[in-house]
Structure 1
Amino acid sequence: MGINPIKITFIPKRRPFIKNATSRLRALYLIDHLQKLFPNKYIANLDDPENADIIVVNQTASQENLIKILDQKKKRKVFLIYDVVGRQYDDARESFNQVAQQADLITVANETQKARIEELKLGKPCCILNDGIDYVEQLNPSLSPFNGKVVWFGNHQLGNLESAMWAIDYISAQPKYSIGVIGNKDIKLDNVELIEWKYEGFINNLKRYSLCFLSHDSLEKQKSNNRLLVTIANGIPTIVSNSAAYSELLRKFKLDYAIVNNENELQKALSILSDEEQRQKYLSEIQPYILENYNYNAVAKRFDQILNLYYLKGI
């Protein structure tokens, strides 16, 4: 007699899930690749806590869903994974504590987040499950040819856009370069090409540009590197500022010149990455590394390893 597949349900942030990066990266893509890689081992789906053996709840789930999940935890034996990828433990401590106390395992996206969770001394195991490359089915790794166009993209809130404005203003004033922003339709900027973000066709829009500039708010020390993974995986050399996650990845491949903190450093990086040979050199080692280690087959296999270690051994 065969063993029944393990039923895993993910409770992400909000519908429509495809329009929310955290929901895509921490739920939708994982479900798809778990089913493809382990069809006889797991049945993975969304929003079905009543029938699940394992519930993976994201920190941004609604209060209504949190109550429903905790109710299931009280009623029966269910393995609860709390997926914490932001500052929930600082910004919404009561809600965080409510779920963390009942969780069997906490997952985070990077070492910085793991260290912060461990500082809280919750007495719960904590594992890193890194984000993978977003916009999975749109992947286009070819090097974008240089055309002088630079792009910023992302959530304009949480200080992301504000932290990049010094560079956006500088680039927009340079005759050799132009700057575009892909984001919310409500963004209003002068001398900037504005493109409304849509999931469909996003990579095609991104690859209209030959360079990217990314940064994080100075208070966001625990952010993921997922936007940088997207640009490099899709063949766009990227300059970064004010981000531990981005800087760590670039330094790993000796791309320190692309980490900038002022206009002089930005101009130097722009000049270097205007040269086609330098652009190819930028991608030569870092892009294969990202494509191998951050594709969603790799992320799903890592999740399977975590479940083998913390869930299956207890059955």
Structure 2
Amino acid sequence: MSNSGLVNYTKISPNRTSPRRNKIDRITIHHMAGNLTVETCGNVFAPRSRQASSNYGISSDGRVGMYVEEKDRAWTSSSGANDHRAITIEVADNAGAPGWGCSSAAMAKLILLCADICRRNGIKKLTYTGDTKGNMTLHKWFASTDCPGAYLESQMPTIASEVNKLLASGATTYTWKGATATGGSVPASSGKVTSNGKIAVDGSWGIATTKKAQAVFGTVQDGIISGQPISNKKYLANAYTGSWQFVSGRATGSNLIRAIQRRIGAAADGYFGRKSVMKFQSWLGVSVDGSMGPATVKAFQKWLNKQ
């Protein structure tokens, strides 16, 4: 079983099942919920504590990363039954919520990568039916998540159509001419630190904010907040999934969250739920409503930059 020749960067994640149990007969497209490079995405999937991965990732400049070889099952869609049969692809967002848009370069490479996957694995036609009857599936069908975001979900029929045109013609070049970004800006703190070592105060809690907090609180600096119950996601609107790990099964909690909880006087269970958010807001001196919005995150980012 071969891998794609379109790959520009490789960082194999330990989070995989080797070998996969089933023949590859479907593709599942995800979004990164952040404008991550293929290198940053690889770093996200590198820790065993992350318990997540994908076969491929595509950055906004159209580069392709490989994190799990096609012969192995990636841990991407909260469904072993799906992922043992699927090649999973994470696509960077160059526009944020609510639309989560993607760049023309990313979309063009996504079409080419899907066509390449189909050719090498004997998939004659890519079919999106809006349910699991087709061979294009969505993460949201297997877990309580918005992934792949409104933009990519709206483009699934077009993606299938464009891939099938390439399969029919044999073409290996492609230019995306469809719609692209639809949404707010993707926060710099999803993966960047300013030149003076401080994080951007943008109200969005991504990888850079997590790493800064881990440094301040003395926990492992991997940029990941692990083991958060997906039921708590509704209280954490500005927590970006490139950094926060939400799970539908048994959640183990996060050492960083435990350290923060001890500092603010909350129960140190490692889960950032509504009660912890309220304690956090009170400690920061912002309005207490139990929902971690941009004002709460900005206050925390300002506090971190003073440490």
Same topology, TM > 0.5: no
Q: Which structure carries more helix by proportion? A: 1
Q: Structure 2 length as normaliser, TM-score?
A: 0.30
| Structure with greater Cα Rg | 1
Structure with higher strand content: 1
